[in-house]
Structure 1
């Protein structure tokens, strides 16, 4: 069986694993082993299972536990459990309510229109559009000062604009991260902005120094790659079609999840999943990609169906650890296609979903390049 962690198309390997059983002991590309969950019911329930921790302090030290970040960057939501997770999420949740995201939609669309307008004729809609759009949105959302915006754009170019198979890792850009975050934290953001709220939370002792820095890291760096892959996959699938963008984006997220795996979980005590006993401290990897194509939940699961309804995919998480920016990610993906449709209708893709090349690592996945032709 092809290793799903290294295959250019992981979905066939994941389907074979899902058919063979719900839980598998696997080796990760970094070497350490983990338990891989492949079926929708197990993945969904595990996303909210209080017997599983995100804080890697609960790892047994032998299984896969991601890569270590310095304490100044590691006190974020994806390494936190309640009650700290609850406290941290409370500081950013008001910025991402349905009402606030709706209010952001014209701003997102204006950025997408402006970027689409500036695209050259021989554009790559990954390098010149899908990578750039989230950078601009996130930079405006915080907001970042001008120098940090330039550094953030350069970082994004270096991390995601590379040859497939030669992907750099976030750990290799630590100095860039520190410089960008330092620029953000030393700025004087507008009153009422997300960054000003975080700085006020630090001043009011609701966040400690490491939590403040880690939250900015989370907002800048953790979300970016997910948004890039969501936008590029949406453009690949929906540009030039008449599909409803709202339902179409949901199907893109299901069929081409930007995250193949959720953040690692660690068993707080011995437990049984899918009939398999998992010792305390072992790592569980929840395959969102495998769960999203579980034929017991999705009819004709291996077919892309843009008007699929209902569509209870797990690509942006579930429960208390669902991505706070899930609504914003959807808004950006919709705006990206709308802007191309309306501002640059002469652009059409020179590749199809069957001929496009893909990039990522064993946790993320998205198109590597989207060259266009002009009509």
Structure 2
């Protein structure tokens, strides 16, 4: 099969491409505006088989380029990975990024996909799929007793989230109105080697290795999030795209952990894995700080630390522990390289 992946220079897209090359016979075309090529350069250095991957530089707002790509590449599957999901920019830069990029670009891709799909013969029409990927923060905040489901209500409290809800509506309408074979996939937070994004895990590990404070805001100390190892995620995403039912919404999720619990796990493992600690750091737990009243009563409680130190083996899923350890070791090994990304 021929597979187009948008957002081609990003962590998810590149890891997905690597999985497809290593475990299938499919060909891949990455689409990206190539404003940031650091991930891309490092990715190709680690790839052995590059012959089945190509890159096309364009913005999705250019419909002529999309039509040209479809004509030349003859895709069977489109995987549209959300253009902009930087949590730090949810509000401040919404007018240019979230509404235009997340909505208008997807609209262009949908319209070009519809025209291309209508031009296919009956056999090729049956194999064509369009999978649009979101992060699961499209849903309302949840707790451990209110786990995300495919029918969960969308959260529209800011322009960033509104743009994602609009895309979901677009996808559904193109399916019902034009019969375009679409799938919507909501993904959890992800982590793993080669992650240069600004997520909680990657940024916290990087800061800790440099002896910098790991800061939690008062609003998200006890927030519960779902974390999935990147290799597990891309394998699930590929299988879901190929085998999933048309017109359905799917959630890919794994381990539920509160932010503070996750940071304590990371610091516990760093204390074990890092033989030579940064200057001024005797215990990585001391780097966790908060700007809320919980700091003294919760974060600095030695009794809590003692419980974690002695009970962590039984409280953490074994596979999760192995994967987070693998991730931390990669950051330790590549700390100098990471300086150019963060």
- Asked if TM exceeds 0.5, the reply is no
Say which one has the larger Rg: 2
Q: Is the strand fraction higher in 1 or 2? A: 2
| TM-score, normalization by structure 1 | 0.24
| TM-score, normalization by structure 2 | 0.25
Answer 1 or 2: higher relative contact order, Cα 8 Å, separation at least 6. Answer: 1
